[in-house]
Amino acid sequence: MEENKQSRGKSLIETAQGMGLSGSTLKVIAVLSMIVDHWCYLFAEQGTDIYEIGRMWIGRVAFPIFCFLLVEGFQKTGCRKRYGLRLLLFAFLSEIPFDLFRYGKVFSMEGCNVFVTLFLGFLLMAVTRCVAESEAGEARKAVYRLLALLLAVGAAYLIHSDYSFYGVISIYILYMFRYQRRQQLMMGALSFLYEPTALAAFVPIAFYHGRRGLKVKYFFYLFYPIHLLVLYLASQLLQG
């Protein structure tokens, strides 16, 4: 049943003709967008065209793609427990590089890195799935889903995770519409209306053909904290 539902969630293009974008291609697009965003954050002067284009336009593409890929990974992973533990591990490993990059401190309570948001989204999907498979009545399931959503959203807000509760809500929406691609694209885009330039991310997402592509499972996990640390050290060297 799950497999049949996933087949109905194919991209908007005909994959049999070899068209479309793989998951690894989407990941590369998101990583390039993130690099531009973070480079401009540290090195471009705020208010300049380079800063505005790099951060407010190019840089906004990354997060929606990572949210979408998280939902895809949750559905297709061979072991959800390992997937969740991996997200949690890198949430911890990325915090010091993130705090140095964003706040110039080894540890700060002002905010948490994006892996924390993705992990909260993962937990929300896992609980939602468990509720759906439970024998509880529909009314009780609805209450459980709402409680899970409120807890995840509240946690993101309280700990100031990157993209805060907006990010968790977007992940939840992408997950709930995972079997209807057109609705998923439309509702996912609507969930990012608070940041209109992020809607551009749904153009490459629409061309996703449902396959992984290159095996670069750990690429983003490692790249995220490493590139934050490298950019921070580069900024310190230039200031020194």
Question: In sequence order, which ranges of the chain are alpha helices (DSSP H)?
Answer: 2-7, 23-43, 49-51, 62-76, 80-103, 114-133, 138-159, 164-176, 181-190, 202-206, 219-239
Q: What is the pLDDT of residue 15?
A: 42
Residue 224 · residue 115 · CB < 8 Å: yes
Q: What is the pLDDT of residue 214?
A: 85
Residue 1 in domain: no
Q: Provide CB contacts within 8 A for 170, sequence distance 6+.
A: 64, 67, 163, 188, 191, 192
Burial of 238 by CB count in 10 Å (0-12 exposed, 13-18 middle, 19+ buried)? Answer: exposed
Query: Domain span at residue 92?
Result: 18-239
Residue 95 in domain: yes
Residue 12 in domain: no
Residue 60 in domain: yes
Residue 6 in domain: no
CA terminus-to-terminus distance, the chain: 60
Per-residue pLDDT of the chain (240 residues; tens, 9 = 90+): 444 454 444 544 444 345 799 999 999 999 999 999 999 999 999 999 999 999 999 999 999 999 999 999 999 999 999 999 999 999 999 999 999 999 999 999 999 999 999 999 999 999 999 999 999 999 999 999 999 999 999 999 999 999 999 999 999 999 999 999 999 999 999 999 999 999 999 999 999 999 988 887 788 899 999 999 999 999 999 986
Output the CA–CA distances (angstroms, integers) from residue 210 to 8, 97, 179, 229, in the order listed: 11, 32, 12, 33
Cα separation, 204 vs 195, whole angstroms: 17
Residue 4 in domain: no
Residue 210 in domain: yes
Residue 10 in domain: no
Q: What is the pLDDT of residue 219?
A: 83
Q: What is the pLDDT of residue 5?
A: 53
Q: What is the pLDDT of residue 95?
A: 98
Write down how long the chain is.
240
Cα separation, 223 vs 225, whole angstroms: 6
Total domains present in the chain: 1
